[in-house]
Amino acid sequence: MTLIKSISGIRGTIGGKPNDSLSPLDIVKFAGAYSNWLKNNNISDKQLKVVVGRDARPSGEMVNNLIIGTLIASGINVTDLGMATTPTVEFAVTALHADGGIIITASHNPEQWNALKLLNKKGEFLSAADGKQLLEMVENSEYSFVEVDRLGHLQYDNTYTDKHIEAILNLTAVDVKAVRKAGFTIVVDAVNSVGGLAVPRLLAAMGVQFMALNCIPDGQFAHNPEPLPENLAGIAREVAVTGANLGIVVDPDVDRLAIVCEDGSFFGEEYTLVAVADYILNTSRTKNTVSNLSSSRALKDITEQYGGQYYASAVGEVNVVAEMKRVNAVIGGEGNGGIIYPKLHYGRDALVGIALFLSLLAQKKVKCSELRAKYPDYFVSKNKISLTADTNIDEILEQVKCRYSSYRISDIDGVRIDFDKDKKWVHLRKSNTEPIIRIYAEATSATEADALAQEIMCFATRN
């Protein structure tokens, strides 16, 4: 059994003892502390409102009921969206002028997991400072419940998937006319979660013919739900055999987007953001972009081709969003297929990513594989070093930083070293939960990326 508490929420496996799994008691404690945090951060006397939505995993209804009951007992009104994507819940928080939101999803984790993702009144994830404050409330049991005449009220509203889609279609950058004219046929793999509800509706609204693969939202994941090439052999085969124009893959809560080309090859999760940025930068007045330190430099290359400025943030959606706001970025996201388009909302959103990608493909009038071929080729090597619990990881990172001090270095999140002349980089980050250093390296060939990672790992373990 596993339970992980962090500044971004709580997640764990279902079944087991309190404090050792995502038990009903832990869910109630966390929802109660969140209620208290909301009250402490709202000075008005009005009754607060929270939006709740969930993915399709089997434990979702149980967790949903516990959360709603706790919020109501805390004197908070609840709007329950039912099964809804993460970006739909984020969108609904601002549309309903709510005070916060809770998304019940463990994202790409297997179906025995679940989690609470917590939002502020902007429909964005809590900041590190807010998350730390909330964790202290959980540990100190800082929550209380109201008397019967002050209980919150529950309202059901299952219209926000359609409202979210309507808002996407109304975006100037989404070219529905061109997509309809292109006559795309697409295979959709929604891993039997809420993408099976949302993605077909979006495609139908854009006049796209599609074949549904794993689109029954029963939470019985047909394969490992993380949208990586090693988990997507089924849709790759289906796209190639059926002659579809492309395949679309989303994770269980639909904040990550992966594309399969018409020949069954993979567009690359890093390149979802690159392609969408290419499309947006082509017509945008402002040219700034943001991704995190562990994302491909291909976004930097594309941005600079348009005369824009690329910025890197610490890893984590909340950090990407903060940096995007700081530099007024027109597009941003993470290299895991997470696209953030501020003209809709500040959150990773696979649905708006689909609409923008299809608009690009329709306007270019090229095959998906041909579009991918126009972008620079980079290869990422992902590794980790397991250490003993008493290892001083900060000291190791400082030694790496000193060893490579002649190169461009960022230490806002671990240590990233850029070897600009050779178009390669390496990023070292320590885990918040284990004695591990994660090492990502990127270069223009897989061999070179692996060699760079091994060089850094050898130095780190030797010292």
Residue of 35, 107, 294, 295 marked active site: 107
What's the per-residue H, E or C state across the chain? CCEEEECCEEEEECCCCCCCCCCHHHHHHHHHHHHHHHHHCCCCCCCCEEEEEECCCCCHHHHHHHHHHHHHHCCCEEEEEEECCHHHHHHHHHHCCCCEEEEECCCCCCCCEEEEEEECCCCCECCHHHHHHHHHHHHCCCCCCCCHHHCCCEEECCCHHHHHHHHHHCCCCCCHHHHHHHCCEEEEECCCCCHHHHHHHHHHHCCCEEEEECCCCCCCCCCCCCCCHHHCHHHHHHHHHHCCCEEEEECCCCCCEEEEECCCCECCHHHHHHHHHHHHHHHCCCCCEEEECCCCCHHHHHHHHCCCCEEEECCCHHHHHHHHHHHCCCEEEECCCEEECCCCCCCCCHHHHHHHHHHHHHHHCCCHHHHHHCCCCCEEEEEEEECCCCCCHHHHHHHHHHHCCCCEEECCCCEEEEEHHHCEEEEEEECCCCCEEEEEEEECCHHHHHHHHHHHHHHHHHC
Give the C-alpha separation, 385 to 399, whole Å: 15
Catalytic status, residue 144: no
Residues with catalytic roles: 107
